[in-house]
Structure 1
Amino acid sequence: MKKENTHSILITGGAGFIGSNLCDYFLSKNYQVTCLDNFSTGHRHNLKDCINHPNFRLIEGDIRNLTDCQNATQGVDYVLHQAALGSVPRSIKDPITTNEVNVSGFLNMLVASRDANVKRFIYAASSSTYGDSQGLPKIEDVIGKPLSPYAITKYVNELYADIFSRTYGLETIGLRYFNVFGRKQDPNGAYAAVIPKFVSQLTKLESPLINGDGNYSRDFTYIDNVIQMNELAILTQNPDAINTVFNTAFGDRNTLNDLVGYLKKYLSRYDARIADVKIEYGPSRAGDIPHSLASIDKAKALLGYEPKFSLQEGLKEAIEWYWNNL
């Protein structure tokens, strides 16, 4: 019989891509897990393996509602705050809603966590915070001006977290995610992430559309690396790791052309015709950062982070999942 874990975790946005993977993982580690989600972008089917688990509790609510945040944080040791409206294009189209969710909702969660005496508030920050900073690799202490409303909201999150640590003593750790991908990532919708969207198109023998010439590069980060960082952020007792932010990435970069090449290679093992699908190119998107590469030295030094999955290794796992579940 497994020893019961006494730690209780709240995962906001727990029905989303990253949140549901965190729910699965921490339930497997015998944590008490509460999920708060309004299902605006998350999906109930992402929680199918959690919903009947004796250690799982689902609260359907909205982080824009302080009462929902207060209810969810009661009796919680750690908050993994994933709830947000992602997507640079969506924030450009509708900056007001993005701000309401990502800033006002974030502040509600900080207040509720403070008042509930949560031990530590760990939150999804973003590589978009680096903005127009030209230097590579991206180092946590050197950022530029944000290039989109979404990027502004994620930077404001870091500022608020810092103030709550300094003013109220709430322990906070921000994880700047770099282009996370993997199982359960939604290929549908206007703001679908590029990897599941391209996988879905290629499996239908449709031509993916790359924004720009395909030479923009990204530090693509497999979901299991992100799970590792969240767990390390919970477990760390290093005082230098508290009230700071960490790049959450693999520490390598690949162009979009590289990415499509890998996708075609691995998917053609399931259907040889995919190797011959043509790629289309269109205009670059407003607000996109040309190149992104993380330094993960700080996470290695202060948290003991050792990412296990490169882009290619992660794609092999993700594509197997997509092929069996799309």
Structure 2
Amino acid sequence: MKNKNILITGGLGFIGSHITNKLIDNNNILIVDNVSTGNINNLYNPNHENLILINKDLNSLDLNNHLNGIDYVFHLAAMVSVPLSVENPIMCNLENVTTTVNLLNACVNNDVEKIVFSSSSAIYGENMNMPLTENELPMPTSPYAASKACCEMYLKSFYESYGLNYVALRYFNVFGPKQDKNSPYAAVIPNFISAILENYQPVIYGDGEQTRDFVYVKDVANANIKACKSKFNGIVNVASGKRITINQLFQIVKETMGSDVNPKYLPKRQGDIKHSQADISNLEKINLKIDTTNFENQLSATVKWFEEEFKRDIPNFKSKNI
């Protein structure tokens, strides 16, 4: 992709920054990010000549003005936490649904070619028809999941009503460098790594026998770009197509880091699902193939990134051999 004008909402965040870094050298990038979870330091060159950054909430902007001349939109800005959505469903609806509808309307008004939407496997809920295909009916168990399902319906309706091309990418459990370890709602892999680095007991919610399908963040960034360039309109799972238990995951992290710590088990969190695994056949429709054999190397690269971050905070930290 070259010489395009691209809007990336949430472009300073974990996934958004990886997309930005891949596109910025050859395209004009407009980022809108309120920095609720994003960080300017996630960009390899925050002063890049091709970058314009608007540090505001999407709902506070005149989107019709800012989308003038935009070719493609990557929409990642959202409330991303299941627990927070349970605590505040009204805010979840505002930040996820209302914002998306306003953005879709502005895309239509400005003849945007395509929007790629960051959705979630949380939509499937407790559906046990593993592996999960995109044709399964939504079974949301949290306001967050319901908001993502609602946004997917709006995307389809804007395609049918106005011809706005779209792909909704249902992310499964994304991990990798730049994931926010300081968030109170941080994902399981950065929580495990950070706990071991900081010498406190890692937490597992529930019995640890719940399963997840993990996918590397660089594969997710590639999926966004491939989806944008493709002629496909619809929904695509973004995952490895494999699943492991949280207990197994902890053992891999523990061995990778050379630790002998044991986890602490706490009650299951409200809204969390028991099992998750994707059917990844639809990745072919966006011309993407994910390497599903490289998990431990990807995990090692993630650990190394977190160690480097930790060393910046604690100069006398001595890294383990990994």
TM-score range, shorter chain: over 0.9
Distance 2:11 2:66 in 1: 12
Partner of 1:25: 22
- Counterpart of 2:4, as a letter, is H
Tell me, yes or no, if structure 1 residue 15 matches structure 2 residue 12.
yes
Distance 1:317 1:279 in 2: 22
Distance 1:146 1:5 in 2: 38
Distance 1:72 1:127 in 2: 30
Distance 1:61 1:115 in 2: 21
Unaligned runs of 5+ in 2: 311-322
Distance 2:251 2:64 in 1: 47
Structure 1 residue 134 displacement after superposition = 1.6
Distance 1:71 1:184 in 2: 31
Partner of 1:307: 290
CA distances 1:92-125 after superposition (whole Å, capped 9, x unpaired): 0111111100000111111111111110011001
Is the contact between residue 120 and residue 145 of structure 2 (CA under 8 Å) also seen in structure 1? Answer: yes
Question: Out of 34, 37, 43, which is 1:38 matched to?
Answer: 34
- Counterpart of 1:282, as a letter, is L
Structure 1 residue 60 displacement after superposition = 1.7
CA distances 1:228-285 after superposition (whole Å, capped 9, x unpaired): 1111112113xxx21x1000111111111111111111112xxxxxx21121111111
Is the contact between residue 126 and residue 274 of structure 2 (CA under 8 Å) also seen in structure 1? Answer: no
Structure 1 residue 66 displacement after superposition = 4.8
Structure 1 residue 79 displacement after superposition = 0.3
Q: Which moved more, 1:153-162 or 1:185-194?
A: 185-194
Partner SS state of residue 94, structure 2: helix
Question: Out of 127, 136, 139, which is 1:145 matched to?
Answer: 139
Question: Out of 30, 52, 63, which is 1:57 matched to?
Answer: 52
The percentage of counterpart residues that share the same residue type is 39
Partner of 2:245: 255
What is the total number of aligned residue pairs between the two structures?
A: 309
Is the contact between residue 63 and residue 105 of structure 1 (CA under 8 Å) also seen in structure 2? Answer: yes
Q: Which runs of 4+ in 1 moved over 4 A?
A: none
- Counterpart of 1:267, as a letter, is M
Structure 1 residue 143 displacement after superposition = 2.5
Structure 1 residue 87 displacement after superposition = 1.2
Coordinate RMSD, CA, aligned: 1.4
Tell me, yes or no, if structure 1 residue 279 matches structure 2 residue 272.
no
Structure 1 residue 197 displacement after superposition = 1.6
Partner SS state of residue 9, structure 1: strand
Partner of 1:190: 184
Partner of 1:271: none
- Counterpart of 1:91, as a letter, is S
Is the contact between residue 71 and residue 113 of structure 2 (CA under 8 Å) also seen in structure 1? Answer: yes
Distance 1:194 1:325 in 2: 18
Unaligned runs of 5+ in 1: 269-274
Partner of 1:91: 85
Give the alignment of 1:1-326 within 5 angstroms: 5-28=2-25, 30-47=26-43, 49-67=44-62, 69-237=63-231, 241-242=232-233, 244-268=234-258, 275-300=259-284, 302-308=285-291, 310-326=294-310
Q: Which moved more, 1:228-237 or 1:115-124?
A: 228-237
TM-score by length of 2: 0.92
Is the contact between residue 112 and residue 164 of structure 2 (CA under 8 Å) also seen in structure 1? Answer: yes
Structure 1 residue 52 displacement after superposition = 1.2
Structure 1 residue 144 displacement after superposition = 3.9
- Counterpart of 1:148, as a letter, is S
Q: Which moved more, 1:96-105 or 1:33-42?
A: 33-42
Partner of 2:318: none
Structure 1 residue 212 displacement after superposition = 0.8
Structure 1 residue 173 displacement after superposition = 0.6
